C-alpha cells in the first residue's frame, strides 16, 4: 500500500494537477495517502509485535504510566464507567 501511495504521489508531482474550483494543487491532498499508509504500516507492525509477544507467553506492551499521558485518560474513563 505504501508503494502504491508513493508512486501515486510521484505521478501527481509530475502531472501537477489542480482542483477544478479553487485551483489548489492536488499534491497536498494526495500526500495524505502517503502519510496515512506509513502510519497504518507502523500500527500494523506494533500490533503484530504485541500479538506475537502474547502468543509466546510474554505480557503485552504497556503504555507509560505518567500523570499527563494516557494513564490519566484511562483513569478518567474508569471513573466514568463506575458511575
Which cell numbers hold the place of 15? 502531472
DSSP annotation of 35 reads H
**H or E, element range at 37:** helix 27-55
pLDDT tens series, the chain, 83 aa? 899 999 999 999 999 999 999 999 999 999 999 999 999 999 999 999 999 999 999 988 876 665 555 555 555 544 545 55
Which cell numbers hold the place of 24? 489548489
Q: How far apart are the C-alpha atoms of 7 and 42, rounded to whole Å?
A: 19
Nearest to 16 by CA among 28, 32, 34: 28
How many residues would you count in the chain?
A: 83
Which cell numbers hold the place of 56? 509466546
Which cell numbers hold the place of 7? 508512486
Q: What is the pLDDT of residue 44?
A: 94
Where exactly are the structural domains of the chain?
2-82
Amino acid at each position: 500500500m505504501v508503494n502504491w501511495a508513493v508512486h501515486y504521489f510521484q505521478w501527481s508531482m509530475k502531472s501537477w494537477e489542480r482542483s477544478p474550483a479553487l485551483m489548489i494543487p492536488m499534491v497536498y491532498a494526495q500526500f495524505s495517502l502517503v502519510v496515512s499508509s506509513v502510519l497504518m504500516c507502523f500500527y500494523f507492525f506494533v500490533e503484530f509485535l504485541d500479538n506475537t509477544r502474547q502468543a509466546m507467553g510474554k505480557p503485552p506492551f504497556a503504555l507509560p504510566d505518567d500523570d499527563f499521558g494516557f494513564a490519566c485518560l484511562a483513569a478518567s474513563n474508569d471513573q466514568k464507567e463506575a458511575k
